[in-house]
C-alpha cells in the first residue's frame, strides 16, 4: 500500500517542481536594488519581484517602476516618466507632460525635506536628449531620488526592447513589503 502511494505521489511532486521552476524563470524574476536612485520608494538592498510578461499583455504606463538592461552587465530600476510621443518639461520642481502639469505624489517624502533646492532641476526633453518628443519604441525614465539618479537625463532614452519587466512586489525586508506600485 505504501509503495503504491509513493508511486502516485512522486510524479505529482516532480510535476509541481518542474512547473514551479518554469513559472519562476519565465514569468517572474527576482532583483536586488543596488544604489539610492529610487529612494524613498525603493532602498539599496530591497528585494523585488519583477513581472516579465505583463508588457506582452499591456502597454507600459507612466509612473510604472521598471527594470531594464542598461548594458550587457547591468540592469537598472527606474520610473517611467515619458512615453512615446510625450514632450517632457520640468519647471519649478513640477513635471509637465505635453504642456499639462502632472502630479508625482510618490515624491512627497523628498519634497517634505526641503533644503531650499529643488528636488528636480529644471530641464526640457530637448535640452537633455536633443529630441523634442520621446521617440516611438523608447521611454524616458528617472529615479525618484532625482539628485542622485543616473537616468534618461544622462543615458538618454531607454529602448522598450531592453525591458525586463515591471516591478510588482517588494518583498524584502518583510517589514517594508509592498505588493503594487501603481
Whole-number pLDDT of residue 149:
92
- If you average pLDDT over each of 35-49, 109-123, 140-154, which comes out highest? 140-154
Beta-strand pair 94-97/100-102 = antiparallel
Whole-number pLDDT of residue 122:
92
Whole-number pLDDT of residue 180:
64
Domain parsing of the chain, residue ranges:
28-176
Instruction: Give pTM, 2 decimals.
Output: 0.81
Cα–chain center distance at 182: 11
Query: Which residue has 509503495 as its cell numbers?
Result: 3
State how far the Cα of 27 lies from the Cα of 9, in Å rounded to an integer.
26
Which of 12-26, 95-109, 116-130 has the least mean pLDDT?
Answer: 12-26
Whole-number pLDDT of residue 56:
79
The per-residue DSSP string of 118-164 comes to: -SS--EEHHHHHS-SSPPTTEEEEE-SSGGG--SHHHH-PEEGGGEE
What residues are labeled active site? 37, 78
State how far the Cα of 82 lies from the Cα of 97, in Å rounded to an integer.
8
Query: pLDDT confidence of 117, banded at 50, 70, 90?
Result: confident
Mean pLDDT of the chain: 84
Query: pLDDT confidence of 1, banded at 50, 70, 90?
Result: low
CATH superfamily to which 28-176 belongs? Umud Fragment, subunit A (2.10.109.10)
Amino acid at each position: 500500500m505504501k509503495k503504491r502511494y509513493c508511486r502516485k505521489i512522486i510524479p505529482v511532486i516532480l510535476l509541481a517542481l518542474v512547473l514551479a521552476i518554469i513559472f519562476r524563470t519565465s514569468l517572474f524574476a527576482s532583483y536586488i536594488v543596488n544604489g539610492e536612485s529610487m529612494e524613498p520608494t525603493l532602498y539599496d538592498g530591497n528585494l523585488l519581484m519583477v513581472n516579465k510578461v505583463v508588457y506582452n499583455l499591456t502597454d507600459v504606463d507612466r509612473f510604472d517602476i521598471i527594470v531594464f538592461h542598461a548594458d550587457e552587465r547591468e540592469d537598472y530600476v527606474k520610473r517611467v516618466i515619458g512615453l512615446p510621443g510625450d514632450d517632457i518639461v520640468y519647471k519649478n520642481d513640477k513635471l509637465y507632460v505635453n504642456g499639462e502639469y502632472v502630479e508625482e505624489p510618490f515624491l512627497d517624502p523628498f519634497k517634505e525635506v526641503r533644503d531650499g533646492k529643488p528636488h528636480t532641476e529644471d530641464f526640457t526633453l530637448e535640452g537633455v536628449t536633443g529630441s523634442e518628443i520621446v521617440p516611438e519604441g523608447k521611454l524616458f525614465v528617472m529615479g525618484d531620488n532625482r539628485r542622485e539618479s543616473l537616468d534618461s537625463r544622462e543615458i538618454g532614452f531607454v529602448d522598450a526592447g531592453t525591458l525586463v519587466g515591471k516591478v510588482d512586489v517588494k518583498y524584502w525586508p518583510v517589514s517594508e513589503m509592498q505588493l503594487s506600485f501603481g
